[in-house]
């Protein structure tokens, strides 16, 4: 019976590894198609990972067959188990290739995750709404300002010698296991991990009965192989982190010494080592500050920095005018800058909405939703503005798009956002005189 269970485990592992080649490993929502379906994007590195997995699976099967022909089950198990353990370690490295190695997809995932957090944390739009609903019609939520800073992780400033217990939370994020990856990790990656584990357990379980000494030797060899793999992957994973940390410390020292050009070059080296630093708001601020200090105040980074300063000092109108100038040239901006521009536009639209300038807020939010097809927070605030303005068609469209976009999110807190969206639609339908639609939307809001 035990041997049958082990054989079934091996078969299940092979099937899961095969399924991993068919399913996406990362599911990032990017837009709602014209037919109402969700458009998603997998990480570019997934293609390389799947090719490597296919080659590894074929190699394992070939090695197992040749070893079985020469030495039976014992030979096959001894040949397969150590490579399977190495495969598991390499699969655990995949998140860093997505989050740290690809600034494009990491930036989009980080912003979507931040929008979700802004809406669902205890001081965010949905939860604050329960104690702050106003007006006879009843607002389903109140617009809260999103965070100023966006980043995939905290920029590293540590050296290998100073890495301690306090840095462990940051270390987990530097290895790619941040909330954004956990939010959008796909079934393919989990199938690959599960398949590797099932294959290894099944192979080890086949060595039973009189093979105890062989099992002990194989276990020691597999443990040693795994340890070496972990050390090598750990060095490769942490090397860019320490390179970036060294460059950031150099940039800090140069700036404190008044050497602004040298400081900017050091920051560029940090971004080259850790590409996601390119979309970190703090790094963009520093680039803008250094450009301004060097007399290059017309660069996009310097203009964004100036707009942020004006916004924080209470000069919202002047900040909005500067951002509108940048919006005219948005198509030529790098994606990290255009994303920051969109985030600033969202904050200004929220200020307009909270100040009672509903029409102005709606125009800015419509523009934002056109520029950012996956901006959930912008759509939820646009739905709120549409409710206040009596625009039921816009209300319906926003609810549909929010529901579709949230289909790719895995966290259960999304139910609060979806319920709030349905609740606003119910109010809008009631004010429009569509009692049946209002009742249906109310049922949907309570059924989540």
Mean pLDDT of 67-72: 68
pLDDT at res. 140: 44
pLDDT beyond 90 at 308 = no
Per-residue confidence at 142, pLDDT binned at 50, 70, 90? low
**pLDDT digit string, tens, across residues 35-44:** 889 999 999 9
3-state secondary structure 113-138: HHHHHHHHCCCCHHHHHHHHCCCCCC
pLDDT beyond 80 at 279 = yes
pLDDT at res. 357: 87
Domain boundaries defined on the chain: 1-100+186-279
User: Which helix H or strand E contains 167, and what residues bound it?
Assistant: none
pLDDT at res. 443: 85
pLDDT beyond 60 at 130 = no
pTM of the model: 0.87
Average pLDDT of the residues of the chain: 85
* Residue 217 C-alpha from the chain's centroid: 42
The C-alpha atoms of residue 427 and residue 75 are separated, in whole angstroms, by 69
Mean pLDDT of 168-184: 90
pLDDT beyond 90 at 399 = yes
Lowest-pLDDT range of 10-24, 232-246, 307-321, 357-371: 307-321
pLDDT beyond 90 at 272 = yes
pLDDT at res. 323: 84
275 CB contacts (<8 Å, ≥6 apart)? 100, 101, 102, 103, 106
Mean pLDDT of 385-393: 90
pLDDT beyond 90 at 193 = yes
pLDDT at res. 296: 82
pLDDT beyond 80 at 70 = no
pLDDT top residue among 73 and 424: 424
Per-residue confidence at 204, pLDDT binned at 50, 70, 90? confident
Place of tokens 């001081």: 123
pLDDT at res. 316: 75
* Residue 91 C-alpha from the chain's centroid: 18
pLDDT beyond 60 at 135 = no
123 CB contacts (<8 Å, ≥6 apart)? 144
Mean pLDDT of 382-400: 92
- Asked whether the beta carbons of 398 and 381 are under 8 A apart, the reply is no
Region class of 406: left (phi > 0), else alpha (psi between -120 and 50), else beta: alpha
Nearest 5°: phi and psi at 28? -105, 120
pLDDT beyond 60 at 136 = no
The C-alpha atoms of residue 295 and residue 302 are separated, in whole angstroms, by 10
Lowest-pLDDT range of 18-22, 164-168, 190-194, 268-272: 164-168
Place of tokens 């490993």: 25
pLDDT top residue among 181 and 444: 181
pLDDT top residue among 164 and 268: 268
pLDDT top residue among 9 and 232: 232
DSSP 250-288: HHHHHHHTT-HHHHHHHHHHHHHHSGGGGG-HHHHHHHH
pLDDT top residue among 333 and 135: 333
* Residue 252 C-alpha from the chain's centroid: 28
| Portion of the chain with pLDDT greater than 90, in percent | 40
**438 CB neighbour count, 10 Å cutoff:** 18
């Amino acid at each position: 019976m035990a041997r049958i269970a082990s054989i079934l485990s091996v078969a299940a592992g092979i099937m899961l590894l095969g399924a991993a080649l068919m399913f996406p490993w990362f599911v990032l929502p990017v837009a709602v198609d014209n037919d109402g379906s969700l458009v998603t994007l997998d990480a570019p590195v997934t293609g390389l990972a799947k090719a490597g997995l296919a080659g590894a699976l074929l190699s394992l099967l070939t090695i197992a067959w040749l070893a079985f022909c020469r030495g039976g089950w014992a030979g096959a198990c001894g040949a397969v188990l150590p490579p399977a353990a190495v495969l598991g370690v390499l699969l655990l490295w995949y998140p860093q290739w997505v989050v740290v190695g690809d600034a494009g997809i990491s930036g989009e995932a980080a912003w979507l995750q931040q929008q979700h957090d802004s809406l669902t944390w205890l001081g965010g739009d949905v939860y604050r709404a329960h104690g702050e609903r106003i007006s006879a019609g009843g607002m389903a939520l109140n617009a809260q300002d999103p965070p100023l800073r966006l980043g995939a992780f905290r920029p590293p400033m540590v050296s290998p010698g100073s890495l301690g217990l306090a840095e462990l939370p940051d270390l987990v994020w530097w290895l790619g296991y941040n909330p954004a990856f956990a939010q959008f990790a796909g079934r393919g990656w989990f199938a690959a991990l599960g398949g590797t584990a099932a294959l290894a357990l099944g192979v080890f379980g086949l060595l039973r009965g009189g093979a105890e000494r062989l099992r002990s030797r194989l276990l020691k060899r597999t443990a040693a192989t795994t340890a070496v793999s972990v050390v090598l992957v750990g060095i490769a994973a942490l090397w860019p982190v320490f390179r970036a940390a060294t460059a950031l410390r150099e940039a800090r020292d140069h700036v404190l010494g008044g050497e602004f050009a040298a400081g900017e070059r050091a920051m560029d080296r940090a971004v080259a080592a850790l590409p996601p630093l390119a979309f970190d708001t703090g790094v963009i601020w520093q680039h803008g500050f250094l450009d301004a200090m060097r007399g290059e105040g017309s660069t996009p980074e310097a203009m964004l920095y100036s707009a942020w300063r004006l916004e924080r000092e209470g000069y919202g109108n002047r900040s909005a005018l500067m951002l509108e100038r940048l919006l005219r040239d948005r198509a030529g901006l790098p994606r990290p800058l255009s994303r920051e521009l969109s985030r600033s536009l969202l904050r200004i639209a929220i200020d307009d909405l909270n100040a009672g300038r509903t029409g102005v807020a709606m125009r800015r939010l419509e523009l934002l939703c056109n520029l950012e097809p996956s901006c959930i927070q912008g759509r939820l605030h646009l739905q709120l503005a549409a409710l206040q303005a009596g625009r039921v068609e816009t209300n319906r469209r926003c609810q549909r798009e929010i529901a579709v976009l949230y289909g790719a999110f895995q966290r259960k807190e999304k139910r609060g956002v979806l319920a709030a969206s349905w609740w606003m639609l119910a109010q809008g339908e009631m004010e429009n005189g569509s009692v049946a639609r209002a009742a249906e939307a109310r049922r949907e809001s309570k059924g989540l």
